[in-house]
Amino acid sequence: MTQAEAPSFHVGAERVPAFFRNIHWSAQPEVTFFDTGSLPVIAMRHHRTATTGTVELVCDAPQEEDWDALLVNRSGTGTTEIDFCGRHHRNALHRDLCRFLPAGADSRMLFDGQVGSFVIYFRPGVIASLLESEGKGADALAPIVGRHLPRVAHLLGLIEAELRCPSLGSRLMIDGLLRAIAGLLVSGDAVSRDDAPERIYLSPAKLKRVIEFIEANLHESIGLDDLAQAAGLSPNHFLRVFKLATGETPYHFLRARRLERARRLLAEGPMPLAELALECGFANQAHFTAAFSREIGISPGRYRRAVRA
């Protein structure tokens, strides 16, 4: 392999993750790291690599520094090859080709320089924790060196879109998507069956606790685990019973509550938009403005002027 190139990093990350120093490229990659906030993952879009030929990528992270990696191909044609756990694999490239490489396993990949992908790196132990919370054994999670997984690819696409344009409930949405992906990986891309209808029920008292928790924490980053804990249920069970009880997913319910608070604060007084964004659970004014404009059709500033005219 030629001397490793330093990646060309674009907007989205304050610094390169430490474990990335263990990923060696034969040519300079063009990548974007997304802002994932308090989520236990790092998300990266690999656009292309600065070569007209084949790229060699070697991952040799020690297990204590490594993260689980989930990749989906997004562009490019031809074939891709990987040496993993002592075996050589060759796959035809297509848009939904997925790979899951557990932490601590060295790998070597070959692919064309124009190939692009979306990658999620999970902090050590995160996937095992997600599975164990749903009564699934993490030991069933096997490496995937190249499979056509359209459902997993679709969910990864939803995560990438949400990271590009955060909404009024991004963390909650991505929490659910990550949990769904973990379940699909361990079940071979199967869809788990719902519990029997008579077992699905959210009592009024539990629903009240959840709604009170949401109202009291709209200024915070609220995740699926937080709401499930308030209800005293597992996250997957909570997802089903909450929608049956309210007619909405937790994500849509939270988005509506944040939107209502934003409208009220905009109408009530001259609170600076940067401060108002924090009150509505956003990390910064830019994310709030983009999400509000997408929902209402006009910017927060124009909305404030219109309602106070």
280 in a domain, yes or no?
yes
CATH number at residue 63: 2.60.120.10
- 18 secondary structure, DSSP code: G
Domain identity same for 17 and 54:
yes
> Domain range for residue 303?
197-307
Residue-wise pLDDT tens digits, 281-309: 888 898 889 889 988 999 999 999 888 77
Confidence of residue 186 (pLDDT cuts 50, 70, 90): confident
Indicate if the pLDDT at residue 104 is higher than 80: no
- Angle among Cα 242, 252, 131 to the nearest 5 degrees reads 55
Residue 127 domain-assigned (yes or no): yes
User: CA distances (Å), 54 to each of 112, 149, 261, 288, in order?
Assistant: 5, 25, 52, 42
Considering the domain architecture, whether residues 204 and 181 belong to the same structural domain is answered as no
Residues 232 and 163 in one domain: no
| Pair (171, 224) in one structural domain | no
Q: Which residues of 44-71 are buried (b: 16+ CB within 10 A; e: fewer)?
A: bbbbbbebeebbbbbbebeeeebbbbbb
Q: Do 180 and 70 fall into the same domain?
A: yes
> 47-101: per-residue pLDDT in tens?
999 888 899 998 876 656 678 899 999 988 888 999 877 788 898 888 889 999 8
Of the three residues 135, 156, 186, the one that is the final residue of a domain is 186
For residue 145, report the phi and psi dihedrals to the nearest 5 degrees.
Answer: -95, -5
Structural contact between residues 118 and 72, judged by C-beta atoms closer than 8 angstroms: yes
Residue 132 included in any domain: yes
Domain C-terminal end among 186, 211, 228: 186
pLDDT tens per residue, range 125-179: 888 887 777 667 666 577 888 898 999 999 999 999 999 988 888 889 999 899 8
